């Protein structure tokens, strides 16, 4: 072996990337004047891809493996440049290593509340947040469309755009789903799956695969949550009058343990007040039937859309008359307070039962 061959072998490049960070997506291999020697070794490890860019054009993409950079290994690059000397002299090219591993625990969330109309609570503002995981599935598209000539492209430079896409599609999906607020927690997985399918085509343009999307929480404003907590507490307490009497009796018992103090005077007043309340309750309950019955429930009032005109409101008796007259059919639009939009009468549970008792249409005359 000649001295020149030995010296030439010692000067051969090794092009590789060892990543110690946890957030680098693209790393540009630095070489003086971007000159890569003929016969250089390219080492692409698992969860990596190497993108060759020459004179601003993507020349080739290498999967994991070890490559000798020669003419036969770079057919696309050789065709672009049309070299006659088989890389015998150094050639200029940029090498971008792209991490194809999965980046996990990336955060998304609504910066501003999302407005929606709930059938039970009316207009409400919702906030939501969660996590997602992504990976690069098309290194060439990522370098061309996103990273560009950045020497080190990280997730911190990209997650804001991805988060904006997720939040926008989340808002659309939440409005279209029409799920009541109290039922959202039971449908997180279904919502996340539907949003995932809607977002993926937009991620494809970046060369990104959305591996996983999770909704961790959808919350109401603090004041609305407090009101909801109070409503739940009232439901658990049940009879408020009985609860107030119980609390008063407890206070009297505690005051009796401290005779002669101010508490005994207060307890006496509370006792008189409770006695008066109980007396009024007994007077109201006295009579042939005992306690006075509650008022009769009022049936729902429905409006109908007939020939483009709004008619009503009708109670159930009036609706039966409309069915008998043929004005109200299963396809007639109906609406009542609490409904988000007009619906066909056959799809409204309260009205569907009216048609089961209606006689079938008369057969045609012979």
Question: Looking at the predicted structure, is the pLDDT value of residue 11 above 70?
Answer: no
Among the listed residues 138, 135, 140, the one whose alpha carbon sits nearest the alpha carbon of residue 51: 140
Domain tally, the chain? 4
pTM: 0.55
Task: Say what the pLDDT of residue 130 is.
Answer: 93
Contact 326, 304 (CB under 8 A): no
Tokens read off for 344: 């066909």
Same domain, 107 and 70: no
Question: Looking at the predicted structure, is the pLDDT value of residue 305 above 80?
Answer: yes
Give the number of other CB atoms < 10 A from CB of residue 153. Answer: 23
- The residue with greater pLDDT, 136 or 114, is 136
Same domain, 153 and 48: no
366 in a domain, yes or no?
Answer: no
Question: Looking at the predicted structure, is the pLDDT value of residue 266 above 70?
Answer: no
296 in a domain, yes or no?
Answer: no
Same domain, 18 and 68: yes
**What value does the mean pLDDT take over residues 193-214?**
91
Instruction: List, in order, residues 6 or more apart from 252 with CB less than 8 Å away.
Output: 267, 270, 271
Give the pLDDT confidence of 326-347 residue by residue, as tens digits: 888 988 999 888 788 888 888 8
**What value does the mean pLDDT take over residues 219-241?**
71
Instruction: List, in order, residues 6 or more apart from 255 with CB less than 8 Å away.
Output: 261, 263, 264, 266, 267
Contact 274, 242 (CB under 8 A): no
For residue 19, the enclosing domain spans 3-99
135 in a domain, yes or no?
Answer: yes
C-alpha span between 19 and 26 (Å, rounded): 10
87-to-38, 57, 69, 350 alpha-carbon distances in Å: 5, 18, 9, 81
Same domain, 187 and 164: yes
Same domain, 110 and 141: yes
Same domain, 114 and 69: no
Strands 343-344, 14-15: pairing is: unpaired
362 in a domain, yes or no?
Answer: no
The pLDDT-based confidence of 107 (bands split at 50, 70, 90) is: very high
Please give the helix or strand (H or E) that residue 247 lies within, else none.
helix 240-256
Same domain, 64 and 141: no
291 in a domain, yes or no?
Answer: no
**What value does the mean pLDDT take over residues 214-221?**
87
Question: Looking at the predicted structure, is the pLDDT value of residue 351 above 70?
Answer: yes
Give the pLDDT confidence of 53-90 residue by residue, as tens digits: 877 788 889 999 998 876 555 544 544 444 444 444 45
User: What is the longest distance spanned by two Cα atoms in the chain?
Assistant: 125
198 in a domain, yes or no?
Answer: yes
282 in a domain, yes or no?
Answer: no
Same domain, 153 and 168: yes
């Amino acid at each position: 072996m000649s001295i020149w061959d030995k010296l030439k072998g010692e000067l051969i490049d090794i092009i590789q990337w060892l990543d110690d960070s946890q957030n680098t997506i693209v790393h540009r291999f630095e070489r003086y004047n971007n000159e890569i020697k003929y016969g250089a070794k390219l080492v692409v490890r698992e969860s990596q891809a190497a993108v060759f860019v020459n004179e601003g054009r993507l020349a080739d993409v290498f999967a994991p493996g070890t490559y000798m950079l020669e003419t036969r290994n770079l057919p696309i690059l050789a065709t672009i440049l049309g070299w006659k000397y088989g890389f015998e002299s150094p050639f200029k090219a940029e090498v971008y290593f792209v991490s194809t591993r999965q980046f996990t625990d990336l955060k998304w969330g609504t910066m501003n509340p999302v407005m929606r109309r709930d059938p039970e609570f009316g207009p409400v503002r919702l906030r939501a947040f969660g996590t997602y995981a992504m990976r690069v599935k098309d290194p060439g598209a990522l370098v061309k469309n996103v990273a560009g000539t950045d020497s080190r492209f990280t997730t911190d430079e990209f997650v804001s755009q991805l988060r904006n896409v997720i939040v926008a599609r989340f808002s659309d999906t939440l409005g279209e789903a029409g799920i009541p607020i109290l039922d959202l927690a039971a449908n997180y997985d279904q919502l996340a799956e539907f949003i995932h399918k809607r977002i993926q085509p937009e991620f494809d343009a970046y060369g990104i695969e959305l591996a996983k999307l999770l909704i961790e929480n959808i919350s109401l404003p603090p004041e609305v949550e407090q009101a909801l907590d109070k409503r739940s507490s009232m439901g658990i307490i049940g009879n408020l009058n009985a609860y107030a009497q119980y609390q008063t009796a407890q206070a009297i018992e505690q005051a009796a343990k401290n005779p002669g103090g101010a508490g005994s005077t207060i307890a006496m007043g509370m006792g008189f007040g409770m006695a008066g309340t109980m007396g009024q309750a007994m007077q109201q309950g006295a009579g042939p039937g005992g306690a006075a019955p509650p008022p009769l429930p009022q049936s729902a009032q429905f409006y109908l859309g007939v020939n483009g005109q709004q008619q009503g409101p009708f109670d159930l008796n009036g609706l039966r008359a409309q069915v008998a007259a043929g004005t109200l059919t299963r396809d007639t639009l109906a609406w009542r307070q609490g409904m988000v939009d007009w619906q066909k009468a056959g799809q409204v549970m309260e009205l569907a039962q009216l048609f089961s008792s209606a006689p079938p249409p008369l057969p045609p005359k012979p």
